[in-house]
Amino acid sequence: MDMNPIVVIGEGGHSKVIQDMIVADGCYQIAAILDDKYQEMHERNGIVYGPISAVCTMIGRNPSMKLIIAIGNNRVRAEIVRRIQVDHEKFGTLIHPSAVISPSARIGEGTVVMPNCVINAHAEIGKHVIINTGAIIEHDNRIGDYAHISPNATLTGNVAIGEGTHIGASATIIPGIKVGKWCVIGAGSTVIRDIPDFKKAVGCPTRFLD
Ligand SMILES: CC(=O)SCCNC(=O)CCNC(=O)[C@H](O)C(C)(C)COP(=O)(O)OP(=O)(O)OC[C@H]1O[C@@H](n2cnc3c(N)ncnc32)[C@H](O)[C@@H]1OP(=O)(O)O
The total number of structural domains in the chain stands at: 2
Same domain? 61 vs 127 = no
Same domain? 100 vs 194 = yes
Say what the pTM is.
0.97
Same domain? 9 vs 105 = no
Q: 166: domain CATH number? A: 2.160.10.10
pLDDT in tens, 71-128: 999 999 999 999 999 999 999 999 999 999 999 999 999 999 999 999 999 999 999 9
Counting residues of the chain whose pLDDT is more than 90, the rounded percentage is 96
Ligand 1 center to 127 CA (angstroms):
26
Asked if residue 210 has pLDDT above 90, the reply is no
Which sequence positions are flagged as catalytic?
139
Same domain? 81 vs 147 = no
Cα 73 to Cα 15, 24, 112, distances in angstroms: 12, 24, 14
Give the range of the structural domain holding residue 62, as residue numbers without chain letter.
4-90
CB 34 within 8 A of CB 7: yes
**Taking the CB of residue 136, how many other CB atoms lie within 10 A of it?**
19
Same domain? 57 vs 107 = no
Q: Judge if the beta carbon of residue 132 lies within 6 A of ligand 1.
A: yes
Q: Does the residue 80 lie in any domain?
A: yes
Same domain? 111 vs 38 = no
Q: Does the residue 207 lie in any domain?
A: no
Same domain? 114 vs 52 = no
What is 118-135 written as a DSSP string? EE-TT-EE-TT-EE-TT-
Q: Is residue 3 very low, low, confident or very high in pLDDT (cuts 50, 70, 90)?
A: confident
Predicted local distance difference test score (pLDDT) of residue 164: 98
Sequence-separated (6 or more) residues with CB below 8 Å from residue 142:
123, 124, 159, 160, 161
The last residue of one of the domains, among 38, 66, 90, is 90
Please report, for the chain, how many H helices and E strands are present, in that order: 3, 24
Predicted local distance difference test score (pLDDT) of residue 195: 98
Q: Looking at the predicted complex, does its ipTM rise above 0.90? A: yes
Query: Quick one: 188 exposed, middle or buried, by C-beta within 10 A (0-12, 13-18, 19+)?
Result: middle
Q: Does the residue 27 lie in any domain?
A: yes
Q: Is residue 13 very low, low, confident or very high in pLDDT (cuts 50, 70, 90)?
A: very high
**Cα gap 156→48, rounded to integer Å:** 41
Q: 23: domain CATH number? A: 3.40.50.20
Mean pLDDT throughout 128-150? 98
Asked if residue 41 has pLDDT above 80, the reply is yes
Average pLDDT, the chain: 96
Asked if residue 1 has pLDDT above 70, the reply is no
Ligand 1 atom 47: residue of nearest CA: 209
Predicted local distance difference test score (pLDDT) of residue 27: 87
The last residue of one of the domains, among 69, 90, 111, is 90
Of 86, 76, 88, 99, nearest in space to 166 by CA: 76
Ligand 1 atom 36: residue of nearest CA: 186
| Ligand 1 atom showing the smallest separation from residue 168 Cα | 9
Q: Does the residue 9 lie in any domain?
A: yes
Ligand 1 center to 25 CA (angstroms):
33
